[in-house]
Structure 1
């Protein structure tokens, strides 16, 4: 499966390692898996997390059920 996000800029190591929200950078709340990301020019996929500040792909459909 292809990564859901591609990061073209420098990324904080905390976000890349799933220690901080991918979208806003917070570290003070419970996180949920938000998919995977690759850095531009690489093929390494990294699992990332979200605090809920931005919709996670597929999350709205799951919550509506």
Structure 2
């Protein structure tokens, strides 16, 4: 009984300590996922710059127009 308990405890510790994710894997997955979002919002920024040049840019904070 004692040997079985010791074996199971050792096996559980061994299995929970096996982590194959390295910091490089996390970094690679994050940078690859963020590369797909590079062009989102570029049209919005261009429209905002044009509105700012035309002095027609409106700022809304909590649904209230603050000029």
TM bin (shorter chain): under 0.3
Relative contact order, higher structure (CA 8 A, sep 6+) = 1
Kindly indicate which of the two structures has a greater share of residues assigned to strand.
1
